[in-house]
Structure 1
Amino acid sequence: MSARHPYFDNGGRPVALAHRGFSLEGLENSMRAFQAAVDLGYRYLETDAHGTSDEVAVALHDSTLDRTTDATGEVADHPWSRVKAARIGGVEPVPRLEDILGTWPDVKVNIDVKGESGIGPIAAAIERTQAHDRVCVGSFSADRRRATLKLLSKPVATPAAQREAIAWWIGVWTGADAQATLGDVDALQIPWRNGPVPFIGRKHIDAAHAAGREVHIWTVNRRDHMEHLLDLGVDGLVSDRADILKDVLVARGQWA
Structure 2
Amino acid sequence: MLAHRGLVTPDAGRHGIAENSFAAVAAAHAAGAAYVESDCHRTSDGAIVLFHDESLERITGDARLVADVTARELETLMEGRGGLITLVQALDAFPGVRFNLDVKAADAAEPVGRLIAPHASRVLVTSFSDVRRRAALDAAAAAGAGIRPATSAGTRTILDVVAAVSLRSRRLAARALSGIDALQIPERHGRLRLLSPRLLDVAHAFGVEVHVWTVNDVDRMLELVAMGVDGVVTDRSDLALRALGVAP
What TM-score do the two structures reach when normalised by structure 2? 0.89
Q: What amino acid sits opposite 1:109 in the alignment?
A: F
Alpha-carbon distance between aligned partners in 1 of 2:116 and 2:108, rounded to the nearest angstrom:
12
- Counterpart check, 1:170 vs 2:163: yes
Deviations 1:116-144 (A, max 9, x none): 121122123224xx211100011000000
1:231 maps to which of 226, 230, 238: 226
Alpha-carbon distance between aligned partners in 1 of 2:5 and 2:155, rounded to the nearest angstrom:
19
1:101 maps to which of 73, 80, 91: 91
Q: What amino acid sits opposite 2:93 in the alignment?
A: T
* Stretches of structure 2 lacking an aligned partner (at least 5 in a row): none
Alpha-carbon distance between aligned partners in 2 of 1:179 and 1:80, rounded to the nearest angstrom:
42
1:217 maps to which of 165, 188, 212: 212
**1:202 offset after TM fit, Å?**
1.2
1:74 maps to which of 65, 71, 74: 65
Worse-superposed segment, 36-45 or 197-206:
197-206
- Give the match for residue 108 of structure 2: 118
- Give the match for residue 57 of structure 1: 48
Alpha-carbon distance between aligned partners in 2 of 1:22 and 1:80, rounded to the nearest angstrom:
22
- Give the match for residue 42 of structure 1: 33
What TM-score do the two structures reach when normalised by structure 1? 0.86
Number of residue pairs aligned between Structure 1 and Structure 2: 235
- Give the match for residue 238 of structure 2: 243
Alpha-carbon distance between aligned partners in 1 of 2:38 and 2:216, rounded to the nearest angstrom:
17
**1:197 offset after TM fit, Å?**
7.1
3-state DSSP class of the match of 2:60?
coil
2:78 maps to which of 82, 87, 108: 87
Alpha-carbon distance between aligned partners in 1 of 2:87 and 2:46, rounded to the nearest angstrom:
12
Alpha-carbon distance between aligned partners in 1 of 2:242 and 2:191, rounded to the nearest angstrom:
25
**1:159 offset after TM fit, Å?**
0.6
Alpha-carbon distance between aligned partners in 2 of 1:109 and 1:45, rounded to the nearest angstrom:
5
Deviations 1:42-84 (A, max 9, x none): 1111100101122110000001111112433111122222222
Alpha-carbon distance between aligned partners in 1 of 2:26 and 2:82, rounded to the nearest angstrom:
12
Q: What amino acid sits opposite 1:241 in the alignment?
A: R
- Give the match for residue 9 of structure 1: none
Q: Percent identity?
A: 38
**1:158 offset after TM fit, Å?**
0.4
3-state DSSP class of the match of 1:111?
strand
Alpha-carbon distance between aligned partners in 2 of 1:248 and 1:198, rounded to the nearest angstrom:
26
Contact 2:162 2:194 in 1 (8 A): no
Contact 1:40 1:243 in 2 (8 A): yes
Deviations 1:185-243 (A, max 9, x none): 11111112335875312111111001110111111111121121111101111100112
- Give the match for residue 121 of structure 2: 133
Contact 1:52 1:117 in 2 (8 A): no
Alpha-carbon distance between aligned partners in 2 of 1:124 and 1:53, rounded to the nearest angstrom:
18
3-state DSSP class of the match of 1:248?
helix
RMSD: 1.8
Contact 1:51 1:122 in 2 (8 A): no
Contact 2:111 2:139 in 1 (8 A): no
Structure with greater proportional helix content: 2
